[in-house]
Amino acid sequence: MAVQQSAQPARVRAYEWVRNGILTGRLESGSFIDEATVCQAVGVSRTPVREAFHQLSAEKFMVHSPRRGAQVRTVTATELIEVYDSRRLIEGHAGRLVCERELPLPDELTELLDRMEAVDAGTLEGTDLNYRFHRGIVSAAGNTVLTELYEALSPRLLRVSLMAMTARPERRTHIDSEHRLLLKALRERDTDGFLGTLDAHLRPIEAVLAALPGR
């Protein structure tokens, strides 16, 4: 059954249908995605679907080859660890700059935490709010290149974050508490407190690693 039509461009609708399917697990890792299936589900022609596939390939959601077609990329344990390592480097440096230079924090950070705590764990909405909170910290450092590097990580970051919350939903309360501690440390210009909390916050979950190839 085709999804309800919207005012969004056809390419965007196709992109979001596939992307959301990958993030939620509706489209499983390693599975092949047929253009015709997406066309029928979204109600668009093949051209916007191909454009969406190209973007999804660039964002590492899928791999595409002329002979085999489009396939959902499998996240490996090594990749997951590297994503968390990269996040600690970028977010840690951003937080250090905010504290040492006493830079202002976006007003929306508290609101994002309130909204995040009000939605179910392991949802696309919650994962998006989580990304926006952490991105807000990075952008507060005022370093455009640093923010661009973080944004380039976003497709992998979103997928890994959703995998973690789905695997261990009971950690939700702990994660919410760590978010509050991160914000408190930034407001108090407590560099060591921020870095210590961030290091604990961005540690890969063993249950997730164990389920991935390459472990």
CA distances from 75 to 48, 128, 145, 214 (A): 26, 19, 26, 9
pLDDT of 114 > 60? The answer is yes
Residue type, 142: G
pLDDT averaged over the chain?
A: 91
Nearest Cα to 154, choosing from 130, 172, 122, 179?
130
Yes or no: say if 214 and 151 are a contact pair by the CB < 8 Å rule.
Answer: no
45 with 39: CB under 8 angstroms?
yes
Q: Classify 194 as helix, strand or coil.
A: helix
Q: Is the dihedral of CA 113, 203, 60, 26 positive or negative?
A: negative
- The per-residue pLDDT for range 124-142, each reduced to its tens digit, is 999 999 999 999 999 999 9
Write down the domain spans for the chain: 10-72, 77-210
Q: Are 95 and 183 in contact (CB under 8 A)?
A: no
CATH 1.20.120.530 fits 77-210, yes or no: yes
Instruction: State the Cα–Cα distance between residues 133 and 161, nearest whole angstrom.
Output: 13
Judge whether residue 97 has pLDDT over 50: yes
pLDDT at residue 2 tops 60 = no
| pLDDT score for 1 | 44
If you average pLDDT over residues 144-167, what whole number do you get? 91
88, pLDDT greater than 50: yes
Rounded-to-integer distance, Cα 99 and Cα 193, Å: 10
- Note the pLDDT tens digit of each residue in 37-52: 999 999 999 999 999 9
Q: What is the DSSP letter of 106?
A: P
Task: Assign a CATH topology to domain 10-72.
Answer: Arc Repressor Mutant, subunit A (1.10.10)
